[in-house]
Amino acid sequence: MSSFWNGRLNVSVFGESKGPAIGVTIDNLPPGEYIDTEDLRDTLSRRLFKADMTIDRDAAIPSILSGINGCRTTGAPLMALITNNEMPHDDEDIPRIARPGNSDYTGTVRYKGFNDIRDEGHLSKKLMAPLIFAGAVCRQILERRSIYTGAHILSIHNIRDKAFDPVNIDRDTIVQVRKKRFPVMNDRKGALMRGDIAKAAACGDSLGGVVECAVTNLPAGIGSPMFDGLENSVSQLVFGIPLVSGIEFGAGFGSAGMLGSQYNDEFYADDHGYVKTKTNNHGGVLGGISSGMPLVFRVAFRPNPTLGMNRKGMDLTTLEETVTGENSAESACLVPSCVPVVEAAAAIAVLSQMLDYPDF
């Protein structure tokens, strides 16, 4: 399986949902970086939403097996392990049912029927946790260079939050939304979103949405053109997140309906001699290279395919129609849980690209 991401940093995610453990290995981290384990706990807990869409703060700290000594990175590969507290057991008699919207069928074909199908095995949404851990480590390293990464729920279903100001995103805006129990800019819109999620759950259905992410104080000159651009790195990691169906930077798909005179961002020098642009339709990246403006992108998530209702599936052994037997939704909306993993993807990509930056 392609569970390795290779940049200047190398990230490897391993394990299966119902196996003994899941985890991550991060190679080529700079040595001597202080890592706050309580911050890691807080970041990991942000993926744990309860039925009322508030955060469960009881996330366990992964066991760090190598790469950190005395709270500082050693330069060796950092390996972290998250133990499965549920008693794993063999379920050899579980029927292979292709459920609508899930990877049951494609996974079975790709791995010739030998893949672990318990809770989707290595394709499970639980594998977001190791990626969040890796991103939290990278985010701490970046924040010591005054580079901040933050995300919020831009929309759920047809309810839309206030967007980031693409030109003026500061540290306080990012930190404040990160600390919220339900990460939105406008709390009134957040309450409407929670109500919509509750309605969907009551019907046994699910909702999708959009997460908006920004990286601020990123210097100009990070990334390369063509196949090693900053957007490329971010996009590769983002598409490793379950349920992602699209990504756009800056004005994104909206730019297709704009005139060139409307889209192009004019340059100017501020009072401190820094080159900036008056607008930020380019989302902070030109030619695959950071411009010095905030990096801004949005990620679309499709609805959770696991529903609280019975549906028609296919028994992959007999190729006959069957009922999936789903009678409770694991979550009517996974978008809130995806906010920290989108931040993680951005932090990993940016830190990896910045290792080439002079005097990092």
Query: For the chain, which residues make up each domain, given as ranges?
Result: 4-354
- pLDDT, mean over the chain: 87
Q: What is the pLDDT of residue 88?
A: 52
CB 77 within 8 A of CB 25: yes
Q: Which CATH class is domain 4-354?
A: alpha beta
Q: What is the pLDDT of residue 55?
A: 63
Q: What is the pLDDT of residue 126?
A: 76
> What are the b/e assignments for 119-135, b being 16+ CB within 10 Å?
bbbbbbbbbbbbbbbbb
Q: What is the pLDDT of residue 150?
A: 96
Measured between alpha carbons, how far is 244 from 334 in angstroms, rounded to an integer?
11
CB 227 within 8 A of CB 305: no
Which stretches of the chain score pLDDT less than 50? 1, 121, 327, 329
CA 59 vs. chain centroid, Å, equals 17
- Which one, of 44, 33, 27, 8, lies nearest residue 131 by Cα? 44
Q: How many CB atoms lie within 10 A of CB 108?
A: 17
Q: What is the pLDDT of residue 267?
A: 95
Residue 196 — φ and ψ, nearest 5°?
-65, -40
Q: What is the pLDDT of residue 86?
A: 64
- Which one, of 32, 29, 353, lies nearest residue 219 by Cα? 353
pTM of the model: 0.90
Measured between alpha carbons, how far is 55 from 52 in angstroms, rounded to an integer?
9
